[in-house]
Amino acid sequence: MIFGRTERGKPPVEPVTLKILVAGGFGVGKTTLVGAVSEIRPLRTEEHLTEAGRPVDDTTGVERKSTTTVAMDFGRITLREDLVLYLFGTPGQERFWFMWDELSEGALGAVVLADTRRLEDCFAAIDYFERRSIPFIVGVNCFEGAIRYPEDDVRRALDLDEDVPLVLCDARDKLSVRDVLISVVQHAMDFGSERREPVAT
């Protein structure tokens, strides 16, 4: 089975549904990632950037960006016949961060998208998930024209714990995004197992 297709002749299976957040800074590619992989038409809450918002919205490095997510993006992907992911893209600008608490309720894990041209923009998301013990991975979105840095250099720049996976990805590519989501699910399962293991006395 691939992306929600089932084999003919087999009875339908009631899938387990899991919630994944996609977070990161303004213009890092969250809406693109959700749209690239969603098997349904994504729900988007985008508004056009206005002159009034220019003093608050730093568009350095993403000068061509003309819209912004003001509430969330929503998509769905079937990884297996019995496993469906609901994707919630969070708003990237600080003035919309109040939505994060609502969106993170019941989340299995998260993807923090990073742009090596603006790494500092994903610090807030990393801090958010660390403080709430929500398992997350960092996906470095490989933009065209951006310098490719070694993974170890990016990890050090972000001050990531060793157990936080860091993967390179292309938010426009369905297979690349699928691999990122599989990595999140696996990491969240490992994270949960470690927390359930009894402490030796």
pLDDT tens digits, one per residue of 130-153: 999 999 999 999 988 778 899 999
Quote the pLDDT of residue 120. 93
Is residue 7, in this structure, part of any structural domain at all? Answer: no
* 128 — pLDDT class (breaks 50, 70, 90): very high
Q: Are 46 and 69 in contact (CB under 8 A)?
A: yes
Counted domains in the chain:
1
DSSP 95: G
Closest CA to 72 of 111, 110, 46, 54: 46
Work out the burial of residue 50: count CB atoms within 10 Å of its CB; fewer than 13 is exposed, 13-18 middle, 19 or more buried: exposed
Is residue 196, in this structure, part of any structural domain at all? Answer: no
Q: Which three-class secondary structure state does DSSP give residue 72? A: strand
Is residue 198, in this structure, part of any structural domain at all? Answer: no
- Kindly report, residue by residue over 146-186, the tens digit of the pLDDT: 788 999 999 999 999 999 999 999 999 999 999 999 999 99
- Higher pLDDT: 72 or 156? It is 156
Is residue 184, in this structure, part of any structural domain at all? Answer: yes
Is residue 77, in this structure, part of any structural domain at all? Answer: yes
Q: Which two tokens stand for residue 186?
A: 């696996």
Instruction: Find the CATH number of the domain harbouring 132.
Output: 3.40.50.300
Is residue 100, in this structure, part of any structural domain at all? Answer: yes
- Which residues contact residue 41 at a Cβ distance below 8 angstroms, ignoring those fewer than 6 apart? none
Residues of the domain holding 32: 16-53+65-188
How much of the chain exceeds pLDDT 70, in percent?
Answer: 75
Q: What is the C-alpha to C-alpha distance for residues 190 and 6, in angstroms, rounded to an integer?
A: 28
Q: For the residues 108-137, what does the mean pLDDT come to?
A: 94
Is residue 3, in this structure, part of any structural domain at all? Answer: no
Is residue 117, in this structure, part of any structural domain at all? Answer: yes
* Residue 95: pLDDT over 70: no
Quote the pLDDT of residue 93. 60
